[in-house]
Amino acid sequence: AIESLYLHLDSIAVEKGQYVEAGEALGVMGDTGETDGAHLHYEVRVAGKHLDPRDVFEVISHVDENR
């Protein structure tokens, strides 16, 4: 399973497991938890293993180019 996590949001506009379209708002960035200001903490996990999101975006970019 592939999971993407968006943390420190002030509000959430989607439900867990919901499919979303490109450009759809997922929530509003905030400063919840122990933070020094508003920001987004973004994580990607595959089968429970953390991945560097930059690597994921690179793969997606190559897939889109080859469609």
**pLDDT tens, position by position, for the chain (67 residues)?**
788 899 999 999 999 889 999 899 999 998 888 888 888 899 999 899 999 988 887 877 777 777 7
The pTM (predicted TM-score) of the whole model is 0.69
Q: What is the pLDDT of residues 35-50, one digit of tens each?
A: 888 888 999 998 999 9
For 41-57, give one letter per residue: b (16+ CB within 10 A) or e: eeebeeeeeeeeeeeee
> Quick one: 26 exposed, middle or buried, by C-beta within 10 A (0-12, 13-18, 19+)?
middle
User: For the chain, how many structural domains are there in total?
Assistant: 1
Percent of the chain with pLDDT over 90: 42
- Residue 20, domain extent: 2-65
**CATH at residue 23:** 2.70.70.10
Nearest-angstrom CA–CA distance, 2 and 29: 22
Helix runs in 1-67, H state only = 53-65
CB 39 within 8 A of CB 29: yes
